[in-house]
Amino acid sequence: MCGIIGYIGNRQVSNVLINGLKRLEYRGYDSAGLCILENGNLEILKKAGKVYELEKLINHQQYTSTIGIAHTRWATHGEPNDINAHPHTDCNSKIAIVHNGIIENYFSIKKQLQAKGFTFKSETDTEVLAVLIGAIYEKCQNLEIAVRTALSEVTGTFGLLVLSSYEPDKIIAARRGSPLVLGISKNEFIISSDATAIIQYTSQVVYLSDNEIAIVTNNQFTTKTMNNQETKSIIHKLDLNLEQLEKNGFEHFMLKEIYEQPNTLNDAFRGRLLVDEGTIKLGGLRSVYDKFRNVRRLILTACGTSWHSALVGEYLIEHLAQIPVEVEYASEFRYRNPIIYPDDIVIAISQSGETADTLAAVNEAKNKGATVLGIVNVVGSSIARATDAGIYIHAGPEIGVASTKAFTSQLAVLTMLAIMLGRMRNLSAIEAKKIINELANIPDKLKKILENAEHIKAIAKKYCKSSNFLYLGRGYNFPVALEGALKLKEISYIHAEGYPAAEMKHGPIALIDENMPVVFIATQDEIYEKILSNIEEVRARKGKVIAIATEEDEVIKNYANELIYIPKTLPMLTPILAVVPLQLMAYYISVELGCNVDQPRNLAKSVTVE
């Protein structure tokens, strides 16, 4: 869950590294550091806090070097401080590494090294790996061999860059379970955990595979397996531009990404939602189309916000296609020996395509013989490459740690998938066309919600001092309640819970008093009357009701303290609309409380460790 970058070429390296760390900071922002090979020596600067703290240190130095590595950290082993910040070195300070991932057997290796007289400065697992590489180098006098040998002795995950004054003309990169991308330009190379740090310099990249190592010099690179077998590298072109990585006048990335949703939904629909024909075309699934005809069961697996989209997907697919669906936490899936049949299809959902738990679930499903598909945002990501086929959501870069536009794009893709599967079975052409026509109108309806942002901001200001929130919904909107609560927790640090509305009286109702805001998704559908009854239960206990309601609903005015209207749509499509006011409310509450919206404490964007 850290950001790493390395550069070798002809530019002044400290500027490249600092700019790269700023692009990567959403991946971790507890501390930052860099290592530059200056006049034959490793020069290391590192500092707890945000990248700008490191930048202040750099501004006092005069570096001319054109090779270096850097890191922005999300702490796993050891608290965030100067000592635990990366890079870490061997005992001779001749080899430096930056590392994303976890070395699971670091403690036993550390004990072995201590018994041989090696010493340690930090609490991190990464320093253990650095010292191990140094110990092996003393015997073999070859950096590549030392790295490969050390990595053969560790268990866990890593995206790793190694720089050494012993062999000052190269950077060694290695990957197992944690992403690394090699950017290729004329007489220069940039290696990073994320393409956002590369696009400023080149759009030509190579994605390292698991258990692959790259040896990069000024004018060439070589990729190999950990067993020293050369591999063939395929160069890809990034579908990314710098403008997508800027705030473009918005105060925060999160707000920008909320407002981008009408456009990102249209991007998800483009070429797939064929309104005139009344059909869905998902080209990424062409190779597995026949498997869907015979599928016995679908298993959707994901984490966090993506898990909430999977829950909506379950409702959609079972309703429209009459296929049994199970939704699994990816973090639990791999450890419970799941029962998977040969005619099951497992669909992994992940914004980044790098989520460690979801990637592990993919591998577990593949090992059990299932057809495994991916719904991801990032092209070329690990899950996209590990699955048999899949669908890109085309939401563009999402920099805010709290996911917004990726969630609605996931819902859009899952809705199209449900329609496609329904048409293979019992969904009529007339009914499908009705849903498709309405789905095409959703982006414009989202724009109407965004035009009402000032009203939502006023509600947020009124309730921002509350200590607890309860979010309630039924049917399709129960997962929206979960997502609304998660957004508030993530960025404002207010305790919030999401529940099915009918479950409130089985426990959570004990929490309700005059100080408890309760957010209801109370849109007009077949269970609207039931939701009104649940609202009455809250009102009887003096709870404050904030209702997300259907436009022109006059009845709800008698039930709610605060009303946020959304345009009328089909019940199955309400989640895409209903979640946006909840995103805005969480955002404005966070701003009122002075929280760091884009970089909330203890969180990182891409969870690449277990």
From residue 385, give the alpha-carbon distance in Å to each of 207, 239, 285, 382.
Answer: 10, 16, 14, 5
222-236, 360-374, 581-595 — most confident range: 581-595
**Distance, CA of 454 to CA of 464 (rounded, Å):** 15
Whole-angstrom distance, CA of residue 506 vs CA of residue 555: 27
Neighbours of 293 (CB within 10 A): 9
Give whichever of 89-98, 245-254, 288-297 has the largest mean pLDDT. Answer: 89-98
- Chain segment 201-213, per-residue pLDDT in tens: 999 999 999 999 9
In the block, residue with structure tokens 């550390």: 110
CB atoms within 10 A of CB 528: 17
- Cα separation of 409 and 351, whole Å? 10
Structure confidence at residue 195 as a pLDDT band (50, 70, 90): confident
What integer pLDDT is reported at residue 412 of this predicted model? 98
70-95 CB burial, b ≥16 within 10 A, e <16: bbbbbbbbbeebeebbbbbbbbeebb
Residue 335 burial (CB count, 10 A): 11
Q: Quick one: pLDDT band at residue 55, thresholds 50, 70, 90?
A: confident
- Among 22, 47, 445, 605, the active-site one is 605
CA-nearest of 394, 26, 42 to 193 is 26
What tens digit of pLDDT does each residue of 530-587 get? 999 999 999 899 989 999 999 999 999 999 999 999 999 999 999 999 999 999 999 9
Largest CA distance in the chain: 80
Mean pLDDT across 352-376: 91
Model confidence, pTM:
0.86
Indicate whether 241 pLDDT > 90.
no
Distance CA 112, CA 349 (A): 40
Split at pLDDT 50, 70, 90, the class of 604 is low
Q: Are 327 and 310 in contact (CB under 8 A)?
A: yes
Q: Is the pLDDT assigned to residue 142 strictly greater than 90?
A: yes
Concerning whether 35 is annotated as a catalytic residue, the answer is: no
**Buried/exposed code over 129-153 (b: 16+ C-beta within 10 A; e: otherwise):** bbbbbbbbbeeeeebbebbbbbbee
Q: Which position among 2, 35, 91, 303 bears the catalytic label?
A: 2
- Read off the pLDDT band of 588 (50, 70, 90): very high
**Structure token pair of residue 92:** 């001779």
Task: Output the pLDDT for position 335.
Answer: 83
Q: State how far the alpha carbon of 355 is from the alpha carbons of 116, 182, 272, 604, 609, in Å.
A: 37, 20, 26, 11, 8
| 232 catalytic residue (yes or no) | no
Tokens representing 406 are 């990726």
Domains in the chain (CATH in brackets) are 3-243 (3.60.20.10), 247-446 (3.40.50.10490), 452-599 (3.40.50.10490)
Per the prediction, the chain carries an average pLDDT of 92
